[in-house]
């Protein structure tokens, strides 16, 4: 029975240790960590408006984390989720702005499809360079982040800029392209359902299909996969395309679910947070949902904690970074035991 839950030990250890170190930092600035954490999680999980905000932040985290996870399953380290989020946001924005007179459901599906394709294209670029040119995907995905983010910055300053806008953003998308609101009088939208559907899709793909088996084999041992007749190059393209597409959907939920227009620098780092979440989940699909909710709660409650407990929001950023650090330490510790 205990072996069944072994995969949870290291992520739980990482979260607990990061919260302990965060508590020490809170004490050093003269505040009560228990009071701060109580406010943080009570407001983000048990307050109606706070929980709505948590759901809003969980949606892009969940989608992007699934994207990073599927790349890891195929042995690829995609750190380009941030850039892929921006490209996905662009795809959904273009559909929302320039395609009109559609029923709402169809318009939303078109916007999501465009977001997936734009993100997938950004991922496939790195996949192609890795599969056919031997260029490390870490380097290319990192560099494509900067290109993607700055491309959006250029577009919202010039060709897509809203007339007389006080800052860099596009015009509003069509009303029919907007995701429905889930909780009245809040910003919580149906993006969380898109994330859950994507979670089910990824779970079935990896566990119930031939392509999922091939992804698993390539991730574990590319040489054995080649010997077994699996095209490693093809699988790299597939996982990087799927990874980028899922991250692109994360960008779409920010545009058609929350902001209703394309902003410069709209992501607070969802693509980078997704890396920590994917590692914390240890390859467990349900673990991605739980960890995304945890990170969403941290982001949601940070401002309330700052106002009520006088603890700066940077503490939350530190906790997120420490979580990734401790999961890396726990993985290394586990490897040393083998």
- How many helices (H) and strands (E) in the chain? 13, 0
269 contacts 82 by C-beta, under 8 angstroms = yes
What pLDDT is stored for residue 326 in this prediction?
Answer: 87
Contact 90, 266 (CB under 8 A): no
Q: Where are the domains of the chain?
A: 49-286
pLDDT the model gives residue 149: 98
The pLDDT of residue 218 is 97
User: What's the pLDDT at 164?
Assistant: 83
Q: What is the pLDDT of residue 1?
A: 45
SS (HEC) of 202-262: HHHHHHHCHHHHHHHHHHHCHHHHHHCCCCHHHHHHHHHHHHHHHHHHHHHHHHHHHHCCC
Q: What is the DSSP-derived secondary structure letter of residue 263? A: B
**Spatial distance between the Cα atoms of 48 and 242, rounded to a whole number of angstroms:** 34
- Output the six-digit token pair for 178: 């907007």
CA distances from 241 to 140, 210, 252, 263, 311 (A): 14, 17, 16, 25, 40
Inter-residue contact 156 to 168 (CB < 8 Å): yes
pLDDT of res. 338: 58
Give pTM, 2 decimals.
0.94
- For position 2, what pLDDT does the model report? 43
pLDDT tens, the chain, 338 aa long: 445 555 667 778 888 999 999 999 999 999 999 999 999 999 999 999 999 999 999 999 999 999 999 999 999 999 999 999 999 999 999 999 999 999 999 999 999 999 999 999 999 999 999 999 999 999 999 999 999 999 999 999 999 999 888 889 999 999 999 999 999 999 999 999 999 999 999 999 999 999 999 999 999 999 999 999 999 999 999 999 999 999 999 999 999 999 999 999 999 999 999 998 998 887 889 889 999 999 999 999 998 899 898 899 999 989 988 988 888 787 767 666 65
Quote the pLDDT of residue 163. 87
Please give the structure tokens belonging to residue 304: 């309330």
> Residue-wise over 189-208: b if at least 16 C-beta within 10 A, else e?
bbbbebbeebbeebbebbee
């Amino acid at each position: 029975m205990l072996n069944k839950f072994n995969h949870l030990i290291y992520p739980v250890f990482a979260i607990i240790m990061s919260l302990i170190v965060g508590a020490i930092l809170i004490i050093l600035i003269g505040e009560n960590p228990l009071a701060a954490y109580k406010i943080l999680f009570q407001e983000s999980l048990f307050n109606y408006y706070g929980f709505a905000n948590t759901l809003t932040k969980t949606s892009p985290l969940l989608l992007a984390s699934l994207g990073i996870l599927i790349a890891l399953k195929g042995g690829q380290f995609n750190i380009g989720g941030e850039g892929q989020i921006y490209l996905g946001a662009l795809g959904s924005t273009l559909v929302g702005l320039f395609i009109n007179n559609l029923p709402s459901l169809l318009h939303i599906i078109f916007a999501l499809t465009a977001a997936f394709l734009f993100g997938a294209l950004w991922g496939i670029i790195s996949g192609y360079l890795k599969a056919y040119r031997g260029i490390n995907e870490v380097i290319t995905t990192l560099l494509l982040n900067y290109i993607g983010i700055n491309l959006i910055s250029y577009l919202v300053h010039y060709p897509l800029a809203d007339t007389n806008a006080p800052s860099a953003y596009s015009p509003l998308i069509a009303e029919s392209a907007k995701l429905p609101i889930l909780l009245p009088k809040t910003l919580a939208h149906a993006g969380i359902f898109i994330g859950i559907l994507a979670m089910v899709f990824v779970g079935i793909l990896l566990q119930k299909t031939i392509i999922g088996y091939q992804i698993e084999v390539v991730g574990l041992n590319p040489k054995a996969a080649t010997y077994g007749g699996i095209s490693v190059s093809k699988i790299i393209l597939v996982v990087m395309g799927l990874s980028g597409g899922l991250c692109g959907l994360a960008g779409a939920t920010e545009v058609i679910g929350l902001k209703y227009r394309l902003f410069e620098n709209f992501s607070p780092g969802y693509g980078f947070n997704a890396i920590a979440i994917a590692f914390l989940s240890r390859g467990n699909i349900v673990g991605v949902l739980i960890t995304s909710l945890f990170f969403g709660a941290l982001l949601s409650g940070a401002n309330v904690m700052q106002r009520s407990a006088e603890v700066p929001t940077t503490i939350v950023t530190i906790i997120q970074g420490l979580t990734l650090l401790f999961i890396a330490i726990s993985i290394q510790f586990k490897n040393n035991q083998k």
